[in-house]
Structure 1
C-alpha cells in the first residue's frame, strides 16, 4: 500500500500552486472547478511521483500566527544533499519566506531546515 496523495486547503489557490511549482518542482494538472460547491483544486505532481492536492472554496480562512492546528503537521521534501538543503533554504529566505528552523542535524539524526509556505504551513527540507 502507498499514499496516493495528500490534500491541503488554501485561501489562495494560485499563489500556493506557484509556490510549489517554483521552489519544489511541482507540475500542476488542469484546474478542477465544481461550480455548484464553489470548489477549485489542482493536483501537483512531483518528480518522485508524489502528489499534493491544493483545494479552496469560499469558507477557507487563513491561519492565525503562532497557532497550532490539529491535523497534518508538515510536508517534507528530500533534496538529496546537505548542500541542497542549505541552498534551497537560503533561496526561500532571500525571496521573503520565513525560515522557522535553520539547517541543522536534528536530535533524531536528520539534516533539515523548516520553512513556511505562503499560508504558514511547515515544510521540512531534508537530505
Structure 2
C-alpha cells in the first residue's frame, strides 16, 4: 500500500513540475520544424519593401529569433502594439504561408513579437537586419 502511495505521489509531483515549467515565452520552437523559405515584408513610414531570405540570411534570421527574449502579454482589443500609428514592422511569412510572425518596433525599448495571434513583449530588443 505504501509503495502505491509513493508511486502515486511521484506521478503527481512529476505532473506538477511539468506544468510549472510551461511558460508563455516566445520560442522559435513555436514555428515549423523545417523552415525552408521566409519572405520578409518591411513596413516603415508607409513604405513596404519585400524580399526573400536566402540560405545565409535564413540562418542569421533563425539565430536572431533564438536570441530574442519575449514573454506573452495580453492587450485589450484595439490597444495592441499593431494598433498604434507609426512604428516599424517586419512580417515574416514562413514556407509559403505555413506560419507567420511579425516583429513590431514602436520605439527602441518597445518591441513585440506577434505569433499565432499572441503578443509577446521583447525584453532584449534588436533589429533583425
TM-score range for the pair, normalised by the shorter chain length: under 0.3
Taking structure 2 as the reference length, the TM-score comes to 0.26
Taking structure 1 as the reference length, the TM-score comes to 0.26
Higher helix fraction (1 or 2): 2
